[in-house]
Amino acid sequence: MITVALAKGALLKDSVDCFLSAGLDFSRVLDPDNRLLMVPSSCGRARALLVRNGDVPVYVAYGQAQLGVVGHDVLREHQMPVANLVDLEFGGCRMAVAVKESSNYQRAIDLPPHCRVASKFINCAREFFDEIDLPVELVHLTGSVELGPITGMAEAIVDLVATGRTLRDNGLIAIDDLFHSTARLIGHPLSLRLDEGDIHKIIEGVKQIKRDNLL
């Protein structure tokens, strides 16, 4: 049986639609009354694991799921040994550096050396600031990083930005982008090598959907 790791939250509906078009019906996970964390497909030849976004590549890397859907931001942050198979092109957002709107900073390079930067994405932030050769103190937060600059704990934040509304509502503004992020179909490398065709058939189904959408 093929196991697919699906992220709860913003990517879930589009992920279900994607697999439905490729022949796997996981629509039961969208039922608000569903409390199952492992849900079989309607055809019975696959099942979905409902997990947190950051856990998707973990389940795939350890082989508990052969396929998964996760944001590129999570792949960049966790750097798990998984195969990045298809850019699904939904769930678009950007990883950005943001500061208080009232500040005079125009770009990230304008931040003072050794200032504090709050983020959930420490590895992504570290890589970015190393690239621009700006030493900063990174503060790892797991909740609302916007509070960092608001309370004065941090001079800036690195976080995902979709519409920018949360930043605006809290008096913040994005001043630099690290990268653009979309949902990706990922796979367990060994399972892909040993596959007798079932997994690759799903992957090809997903790719065909993308090709059809481009026509």
- Burial grade of 195 (CB within 10 A; 0-12, 13-18, 19 or more): middle
Q: Which domain holds residue 162?
A: 93-179
The token pair at 57 is 């590549």
Banded model confidence at residue 71, pLDDT cuts 50, 70, 90: very high
Are 169 and 186 members of one domain? no
Residues 98 and 86 in one domain: no
Which CATH number do you get for residue 126? 3.40.190.10
Specify whether 132 is located in the same domain as 106: yes
pTM here is 0.89
Residues 114 and 41 in one domain: no
Closest-CA residue to 66 (of 183, 184, 200): 200
Q: Are 74 and 160 in contact (CB under 8 A)?
A: no
Q: Work out how many domains the chain is built from and give that number.
A: 2
139 to 95, 116, 146, 153, 158: CA distances (angstroms): 16, 7, 12, 9, 10
pLDDT tens digit string along 13-67?
999 999 998 889 999 999 888 888 888 887 778 999 999 999 999 999 999 999 9
pLDDT in tens, 126-175: 999 999 999 999 999 998 999 999 999 999 999 999 999 999 999 999 99
Query: What per-residue confidence (pLDDT) applies to 210?
Result: 66
- Looking at the structure, do residues 154 and 196 belong to the same domain, yes or no? no
- Please tell me whether residues 187 and 87 are part of one structural domain: yes
146: tokens are 């916007």
Quote the pLDDT of residue 215. Answer: 40
* 87 and 21 share one domain: yes
Phi, psi (5° rounding) for residue 114?
A: 70, 15
Average confidence (pLDDT) over 60-77:
97
Average pLDDT over the chain, rounded to whole?
93
Choice among 57-61, 80-84, 127-131, 201-205 with the minimum mean pLDDT: 201-205
Residues 168 and 187 in one domain: no
> How many Å apart are CA 121 and CA 16, to the nearest integer?
26
- 104 with 163, same domain: the answer is yes
